[in-house]
Every structure is written in C-alpha cells, then in structure tokens.
Homo-oligomer: A and B are copies of this chain.
Amino acid sequence: MAVKVNAIVAQSGGPTAVINSSACGVIVEAMKSGKIDRVFGATNGILGVLKEDLFDISAEKAERIEALKRTPSAAIGSCRYKLKSLEESRADFERIVDVFKAHEIHYFFYAGGNDSMDTADKVNKLAADSGYELVCIGVPKTIDNDLACTDHCPGYGSVAKYVATCAMEAGRDTEALYTHDTCTILEVMGRNAGWIAAATGLAAREPKDAPHLVYMPEAAFSFDKLVADVKQVHKELGGVFIVVGEGLKDEKGNYVTADSGAFSKDSFGHVQLGGVADMLKVVIEKEVGIKARWNKLGTNQRNAMHFASLTDVNEAYMCGQAAVRAAMAGVNGKMVTLVREDGPKYKCTTGLAELSDVANGEKKVPKEYINEAGNGITEACREYIRPLIRGEAPVTIGEDGLPVYMRFERKTLEKKLTEYI
C-alpha cells in the first residue's frame, strides 16, 4: 500500500443517538494514525459511494468532529439501500470498488447492522478477487441490540435509558389519572427482537411502578392472555401500564395482526390500524371495559440524545477507535465487538468477529430473560441491561434552551467517474 492513502467512513440503516460517536472515534483515530491522508464521508451510506457523493471529513473543523459525540442521528447521512448477493448486485459491488480506486480509498469503515456487515464483507471479497488492496472493518450499530458475536450494540444503551424513562414518566401519568385513563400502552421499536421493550422493565423498581406488563416478540402473544393479564393488574393496582414491542408474534411465530385471535371475533378485521398499540387498545377497551390510550415514540426513541447513556456514547466512540486500530494492525474483514469482562463490576472492552458471522447471525432476547408468564423480564435481564444505561451523556444547550447539534460543512469531492445511479 502507498505510504499515505485515504479512508472512508459510512453510516447505514436507522440512526441512533451514538452512531456519530462511533464516526468520531474512527475519524480522530484515523487522523492520528500516520498512515491515512484524508478521511472521506459517504453521503447517505453506500448510496453515497455508488453515486460518488463523497465529502472530505478531514477538512472539517475540529470542533465539528468533536461535536459528533453530542449529536444524534447519522450526521454523514444514512440510507436503506440494500445490496443483494454478489451475483445479483455484482454491478453495484464493482462500482463501489471503482469509486474507492478513483479516490485512492484503501480503508473502508462501515457502521451498521448485519446487512451492512454483509455488504462490507462482499465488497472486501470482490476487492481481494480483483487485486485491489482494501481493508474493511465493521463498526456495530443498532438500537435493536440484535447483532450476533457482540455482548451488546452501540445505540442500545441510549434507547434503553430513554424508553425506560419514558415508561416511568408516562407510568406516573397513568398512576395519577387511573380513575379516567385506566390503561396506557407504550409502543416501542423492535420488529423481531424485544430488547427495547425489555429495557423498559428497568423502570419498575417496585410492584406499583410501570410497566406492569411487557410484551416482546420472543414470547408468544395472544389476545386472550392479554385480556387476562390486564384484568389481573387492573384488579391489583387500579391502573395498567403496558409496553409493547412493535412486532408481536403469536404461538406459530406469525405477526399479530387485526385478524388474530380475539381481535377477529367481530368487525375489527376491516379496520386499518395505527399499529400494534392501537390494536391492544381496541381489545382492552372492548374485552376488559376500561379506557385505554397509547403513545408511540417512533423515531424519537432512537435519537434521544438529550437523555442518552454516557456508557453508550463512550463505548460507541471506543468501537470507532478500535476499528481503526485493528485496521492499522493489519486486521481485515472483521467487525469490532463489545466484550463484557467477567467480574462483579461492569467492564467492557472490544474484540473482533468475522463480518460474515455477524451478517448471518441474529441475537434475540433469550428465554432466561423473559418471565414465565411471558409478560415481563427477569432479574438476569435487568443485570444484563443495567450497566449499559448508566451515566448521562453531555449535551450542549443553546441560549434558547434547546440542544445544539452539529452539521458538517461538507466539502464535496469532485467526481472522477461517470454517473452510475
């Protein structure tokens, strides 16, 4: 490899509160490596590479780079462009390597989930096949916490802290107003894995505390069971606070829809619903006879930098840093992992896993983290999540009382290739 070459950093998939911290770790470490000339950003992830829409991050002011640690979402830009197999998307993969060649990019740092690790793996293999020197290192990122090979994922600690706080706060609302708004449902993200819903369980320090019921995709859901659970809590506490992951599944593993179980007993089958929380509301009001309402945090939960986990921010940065250090040490084709050290006190270091192992894996909430009734978490689950949400990440607040988040200046690179998409 030439003495000094360029590196590229890209962000993929759903934003998080800390994916920018990882980018910061990559950029700062790359700039001081002595082996990297310039660090480029790919505007909107792999789409930016395909479009040759790149900008010079190393030309950005140092304050801007530093402010990444206090800025949510994906400041470089993200996308959901999905590359398929090498055979089906060969032109795309070749284009990526062409763009890298054109800009003398020999290091590719890609922050994302398992699809992104799959992409990085394939780009890496194609480059190797074509004799182009390329080092591809993945940086883990997902609020869903479902990546294989890593103890947990940067992004999860912050969403966990925020949704648990939201459950606590909206739970106090239900507690105060239970004579009128008797049941509240909080819908959180997690289509296949219940990690985010599980985290809200930490808000319940004592029996009276919300949430009283937590439903995750990993525990078979039925409307009959829901109705029995709600009746029970209502009898005991007067008010009921429920957290539901957006992707509930029935005993056969099918997504719960308006046609499932008790719900289809009447004309509801024709109704297009706002989501799973709305479904639960309708069933609870009809079958339990209490008023129910719901909140859906949506994309707010994954960008809640204003109350993010300091542990998460620091670990995200550490992952970015570790990616560059691994690359400098000659590692290739790996994703940085978070490793929880043994011992009574939480300590987290980084490790490495094959990109392909991450690409093909998925980590769901294990059985031992879900209570027997399938409507809450166990102490083992609390112990796993608790250290990840500790500490409050610093936020810069402007004179106007609102957070100050950064944007890049974006010195766009001149295009050297013909248009592709």
Contacts and interface: CB of A to CB of B under 8 A. Distances in A.
A160 to B, nearest CB: 9
Given A170-B299, A203-B402, A298-B294, A75 B176 contact: yes
Contacts of A304: 169
Nearest to A282: B272
A14 B294 CA distance: 15
Q: Is the interface of A mostly helix, strand, loop or mixed?
A: mixed
Interface string A288-320: 000001111111101111110101000000000
Given A273-B274, A294-B298, A397-B392, A172 B72 contact: yes
A53 to B, nearest CB: 11
B298 A169 contact: no
A401 B397 contact: no
A177 B73 CA distance: 9
A161 interface: yes
Interface residues of A, number: 72
Contacts of A401: 161, 309, 311, 386, 389-392
A299 B295 contact: yes
Given A73-B172, A161-B402, A298 B295 contact: yes
B271 A274 contact: no
Contact of A402 (B165, B397, B402): B165
B274 A184 contact: no
Interface stretch (A77-85, A112-120, A229-237): A77-85
Contacts of A44: 176, 179
Contacts of A186: 300
A164 interface: yes
Contacts of A47: 179
A318 to B, nearest CB: 18
A205 B401 CA distance: 12
Interface string A1-43: 0000000000100110000000000000000000000000000
A173 B11 CA distance: 12
A193 interface: no
A180 interface: yes
Contact of A169 (B72, B164, B208, B397): B72
Closest 9 CB pairs of A and B: A274-B274, A295-B298, A73-B172, A74-B176, A169-B303, A80-B180, A389-B401, A390-B401, A173-B299
Interface of A: 11, 14-15, 44, 47, 71-75, 77-81, 161, 164-166, 168-170, 172-177, 179-181, 184, 186, 202-203, 205, 208, 270-275, 278, 293-300, 302-307, 309, 311, 386, 389-392, 397, 400-403, 405, 407
Given A169-B405, A386-B400, 7 more contacts: A14-B177, A15-B176, A80-B177, A81-B180, A164-B402, A169-B306, A273-B274
28 contacts: A15-B176, A15-B177, A47-B179, A71-B172, A73-B176, A75-B176, A78-B177, A79-B177, A81-B179, A161-B402, A165-B402, A165-B403, A166-B300, A169-B303, A169-B405, A170-B303, A186-B300, A202-B400, A202-B402, A271-B272, A274-B275, A295-B296, A295-B298, A295-B299, A296-B296, A297-B300, A389-B401, A391-B401
